[in-house]
Amino acid sequence: MAAAGAFDSGAGARRDRPAVIDPAGVELNQLWLAWKGERGGATLGRQRLQLDNQRWVGNSGWRQNEQTFDALVTQ
């Protein structure tokens, strides 16, 4: 079965399908401070972290509200 049209987005009258509705509201995805010197740098704040192929740590960009992390990253 194809996924297209197999759910109720909330915009139509397909009440016989499971509801998949985005959450109400918005959120701040990124806000960070960065510093870079001659020997390294650092980033502090809410940021997207995407490691390797994003299987374990990623931003889940397909969601309305992406997954972000409050973190300190050093380089």
- pLDDT tens digits for range 29-44: 889 999 999 999 999 9
Range of the domain at 40: 31-74
| pLDDT the model gives residue 21 | 65
Task: Quote the number of domains for the chain.
Answer: 1
What span, in angstroms and rounded, lies between the C-alpha atoms of 69 and 13? Answer: 37
Say if 1 falls within a structural domain: no
Say if 14 falls within a structural domain: no
Give the residue-averaged pLDDT of 11-38.
Answer: 78
What span, in angstroms and rounded, lies between the C-alpha atoms of 47 and 67? Answer: 9
Say if 8 falls within a structural domain: no
Contact 23, 64 (CB under 8 A): yes
Say if 7 falls within a structural domain: no
**pLDDT category, 15, cuts 50, 70, 90?**
low
65: Cβ contacts below 8 Å, ≥ 6 apart = 23, 26, 27, 29
Say if 67 falls within a structural domain: yes
Say if 25 falls within a structural domain: no
| pLDDT the model gives residue 75 | 87
For residue 66, how many other CB atoms are within 10 A of its CB? 14
| pLDDT the model gives residue 25 | 74
| pLDDT the model gives residue 3 | 57
